[in-house]
Amino acid sequence: MARAIWKGSISFGLVNIPIALYPATRREELKDGKEVPWDQIVKSYEYEKGKYIVLKDEDFQRVDLEATQTVDIQDFVDQEEIDPMFFYKPYYLEPQKGGDKAYALLRDALKDTNKVGVAKVVIKTRQYLAGVKPEDGALVLELMHFADELADPEKLHVPKKMEVGKREMSMAKSLIDTMSSKWNPEKYKDDYREALMEVIEEKVEAGGKEIEAKPKKTPKPTKVERRKEKNDSQIPWQKSASCKKSSVR
């Protein structure tokens, strides 16, 4: 586990729980997969397309915002009421000396009530909206977007409810059922990163010289893909895509 990036307390009502904040994700440097220290990461603002201004710690300190060193829970909200799109970056919360009992009490109470503590917290001079919730025996603080930071989906041109035949719906559900499985995050790899690492390693071995591009391999279709191909022609969205493609000259 990386070092704590922030220490303070969770505060709600008259309750204060001393905690430390740890990143729940890793920042990796492409060349060797090692974690990049915070002091080697810079913040910048794109004021024009492709033009950035680098912001230093002194610039953030000029923003007069009181840092209270508390995760100030303002409301407890039913978890299902919050759109998952609001959440974007998780941190682990670890109890500090004397805080174990209160920490466990809050964790278990949130789990039993299925609530999220909606809080404000100042980290590194910036104020964030955050949700405090239980996860695998720990409390997690997950940063949230403010309402005005999310784009309005109403502006998208998407089809309204459409009438589809029972057979078409049955085929679509059958395909979904065929491809359904248990969630296994380790199954999904960053193929682009792995392929890029291979290119980098080859260039290192070649002393930095240009390397001829290898012909792309065509993977054999899986059982699910073969079943999908068989069903594609009978599903409305696949028909539409095929017709549109064939009409282009």
Question: 128-157 pLDDT, tens per residue?
Answer: 999 999 999 999 999 999 999 988 888 888
- Does residue 86 form part of some domain? yes
Q: What is the pLDDT of residue 229?
A: 67
Same domain, 63 and 10: yes
Same domain, 103 and 171: no
Question: 206-225 pLDDT, tens per residue?
Answer: 776 676 766 666 666 665 66
What HEC string does the chain produce?
CCCCCEEEEEEECCEEEEEEEEECCCCECCCCCCECCHHHCCEEEEEECCEEEEECHHHHHCCCCCCCCEEEEEEEEEHHHCCHHHEEEEEEEEECCCCHHHHHHHHHHHHHHCEEEEEEEEECCEEEEEEEEEECCEEEEEEECCHHHCCCHHHCCCCCCCCCCHHHHHHHHHHHHHCCCCCCHHHCCCHHHHHHHHHHHHHHHCCCCCCCCCCCCCCCCCHHHHHHHHHHCCCHHHHHHHHHHHCCC
Quote the domain boundaries for residue 20: 6-147
Same domain, 17 and 140: yes
Residue ranges of the chain with per-residue pLDDT less than 70: 1-2, 26-42, 58, 60-67, 208-209, 211, 213-249
The CATH number assigned to the domain holding 104 equals 2.40.290.10
- Does residue 200 form part of some domain? no
What's the total number of domains in the chain? 2
Same domain, 14 and 130: yes
Q: Is the pTM of this model over 0.75?
A: no
